[in-house]
């Protein structure tokens, strides 16, 4: 079996992630901050360790500004709805995931104005100059994805951060597809809010997300409740991370995330990125040589996250995905990838694309077999034809 859906969730996880989660449940399964006994204290240490590791990864000046959330969608909602009020103006792109689009559509109905910027056709980047031109006196936020989950095209977030900082505007980054793979520095890149998932490039399990809240931002809370600290107070504590973390956390998931972060540190993020880029470059080169295959993305792999979207002239994305799964045991994502706005920009709406997203545990041999398989499908044509494909794996 070949798994090429790491943009949805990374698989397999490092062995250390499985072991850390199992050991937590067996030996340290207390409720962090909810008691002074040894198991509760052990659970608190695991959460604190993961928070510190995440802070180091993104160069956060204070680990307590790293907030653990349900997932990246939760992080984005906390940032958007905690910051924006009727009359505010937001600048974002036409490349965003529904985790950005849908909250903003709701906020538009509540009186928030949104400007949706299209990328330049020649390279797929949203122009920093276009962002600057769109800023008004009411602009409160610039929100951009670091890399499209459809095309993989990387956006120049450091340049966006400089524009936002120059105008005193909050800058938020959706790093769902890049955290753990690409260097992120909230200080050097002028990032005020950073949202990411724990189960993709960070190699942790599902059910954990991260929101970095910078010093320049004062967010309203979306939920209130028990924090295990300040129990004498009837109002939510104002200090971080307790202001935004209430209720029992997904401690076993955070334990797994911590193990994923330690794995990245041991392997070296630059080594992980180099391997994934080599696989992406091989995919792009191989697919470009197949007649009837259309690839959507950057002009070179340097500006592309490990995500490759393509279509074929003879078969729809759903057909291609079914054949890859059933005939070749290759797992890919097809359709709109929860990002219809990005597909409209690419011209692939409403059918979408076939998305290949290699990860650190994929091999060159798997990529070559995938290219060969797609070549067979491209030559075959539609499932409705009389032709069939047989796997030679």
Using CA atoms, how far apart are residues 174 and 49, in angstroms rounded to an integer?
Answer: 24
Let me know whether 288 and 207 are in one domain.
Answer: no
Quote the number of domains for the chain. 2
Let me know whether 285 and 139 are in one domain.
Answer: no
Let me know whether 117 and 243 are in one domain.
Answer: yes
Let me know whether 200 and 340 are in one domain.
Answer: no
Q: Counting beta carbons within 10 angstroms of the beta carbon of residue 31, is it exposed (0 to 12), middle (13 to 18) or buried (19 or more)?
A: middle
Using CA atoms, how far apart are residues 294 and 288, in angstroms rounded to an integer?
Answer: 8
Question: What's residue 381's pLDDT?
Answer: 64
Last residue of a domain, one of 236, 267, 298: 267
* Residue 7: inside a domain: no
How would you classify the pairing of strands 89-93 and 113-117? parallel
- At 376, phi and psi to the nearest 5? -65, -40
* Residue 159: inside a domain: yes
Catalytic residue numbers, as ranges: 338
Question: What's residue 302's pLDDT?
Answer: 78
Question: What's residue 382's pLDDT?
Answer: 52
Helix, coil or strand: residue 311: strand
Let me know whether 333 and 371 are in one domain.
Answer: yes
Let me know whether 281 and 223 are in one domain.
Answer: no
Let me know whether 334 and 355 are in one domain.
Answer: yes
Per-residue pLDDT of the chain (393 residues; tens, 9 = 90+): 999 999 999 999 999 999 999 999 999 888 887 778 988 889 999 999 999 999 999 999 999 999 999 999 999 999 999 999 999 999 999 999 999 999 999 999 999 999 999 998 767 889 999 999 999 999 999 999 999 999 999 999 999 999 999 999 999 999 999 999 999 999 999 999 999 999 999 999 999 999 999 999 999 998 888 877 777 887 888 899 999 999 899 999 999 999 999 999 999 999 999 999 999 999 999 999 999 999 998 767 778 899 999 999 989 999 999 999 999 999 999 999 999 988 888 888 999 999 999 999 999 999 999 999 999 999 986 545 444 444 444
Question: What CATH number did the domain enclosing 300 receive?
Answer: 3.90.1150.10
What tokens were used for 149? 């989950």
Question: What CATH number did the domain enclosing 223 receive?
Answer: 3.40.640.10
Using CA atoms, how far apart are residues 254 and 43, in angstroms rounded to an integer?
Answer: 10
Q: Specify whether the CB–CB gap between 327 and 389 falls below 8 A.
A: yes
* Residue 5: inside a domain: no
| CA distances to 29, 150, 182, 240, 344 from 349, in Å | 46, 12, 29, 42, 5
Using CA atoms, how far apart are residues 381 and 387, in angstroms rounded to an integer?
Answer: 7
Cα 156 versus chain centre, distance: 16
* Residue 6: inside a domain: no
Let me know whether 40 and 188 are in one domain.
Answer: yes
* Residue 286: inside a domain: yes
Using CA atoms, how far apart are residues 99 and 369, in angstroms rounded to an integer?
Answer: 33
Let me know whether 197 and 323 are in one domain.
Answer: no
Let me know whether 186 and 197 are in one domain.
Answer: yes
* Residue 90: inside a domain: yes
Let me know whether 124 and 224 are in one domain.
Answer: yes
* Cα dihedral across residues 222, 253, 98, 272: positive or negative: positive
Using CA atoms, how far apart are residues 42 and 344, in angstroms rounded to an integer?
Answer: 49
Residue 152 gets the label, from left (phi > 0), alpha (psi -120 to 50) or beta, of left
Last residue of a domain, one of 267, 284, 306: 267
What tokens were used for 232? 């004498």
Last residue of a domain, one of 267, 291, 317: 267
Note down the domain range covering 204.
15-267
Let me know whether 306 and 366 are in one domain.
Answer: yes
* Residue 39: inside a domain: yes
* Residue 3: inside a domain: no
């Amino acid at each position: 079996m070949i798994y090429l859906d790491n943009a949805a969730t990374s698989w397999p996880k490092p062995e250390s992630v499985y072991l850390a989660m199992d050991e937590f449940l067996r030996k340290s399964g207390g409720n962090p901050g909810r008691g002074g006994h040894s198991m509760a204290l052990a659970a608190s240490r695991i959460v604190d360790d993961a928070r510190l590791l995440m802070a180091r990864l993104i160069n956060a000046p204070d680990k307590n500004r790293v907030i653990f959330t349900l997932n990246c969608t939760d992080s984005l909602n906390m940032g958007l709805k905690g910051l924006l009020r009727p009359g505010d103006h937001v600048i974002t792109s036409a490349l965003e995931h529904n985790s950005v689009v849908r909250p903003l559509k709701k906020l538009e109905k509540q009186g928030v104005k949104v400007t949706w910027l299209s990328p330049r056709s020649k390279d797929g980047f949203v122009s920093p100059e276009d962002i600057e031109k769109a800023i008004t006196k009411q602009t409160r936020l610039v929100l951009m994805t670091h890399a499209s989950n459809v095309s993989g095209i990387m956006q120049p977030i450091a340049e966006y951060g400089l524009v936002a900082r120059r105008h005193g505007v909050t800058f938020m980054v959706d790093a769902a597809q890049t955290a753990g793979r690409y260097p992120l520095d909230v200080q050097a890149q002028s990032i005020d809010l950073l949202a990411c998932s724990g189960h993709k490039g960070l190699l942790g399990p599902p059910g954990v997300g991260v929101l970095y809240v910078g010093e320049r931002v004062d967010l309203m809370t979306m939920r209130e409740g028990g924090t295990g600290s300040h129990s004498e107070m009837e109002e939510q504590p104002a200090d971080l991370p307790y202001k935004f973390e209430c209720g029992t956390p997904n401690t076993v998931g955070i334990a797994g995330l911590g193990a994923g972060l330690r794995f990245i540190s041991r392997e070296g993020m630059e080594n992980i990125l180099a391997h994934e880029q080599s696989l992406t470059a091989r995919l792009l080169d191989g697919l470009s040589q197949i007649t009837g295959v259309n690839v959507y993305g950057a002009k070179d792999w340097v500006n592309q996250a490990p995500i490759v979207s393509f279509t074929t002239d003879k078969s729809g994305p759903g057909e291609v995905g079914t054949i890859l799964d059933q005939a070749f045991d290759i797992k890919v994502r097809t359709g709109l990838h929860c990002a219809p706005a990005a597909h409209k920009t690419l011209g692939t709406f409403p059918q979408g694309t076939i998305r290949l997203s290699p990860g650190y545990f994929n091999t060159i041999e798997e990529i070559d077999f995938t290219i060969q398989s797609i070549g067979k499908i491209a030559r075959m044509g539609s499932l409705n034809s009389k032709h069939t494909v047989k796997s030679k794996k």
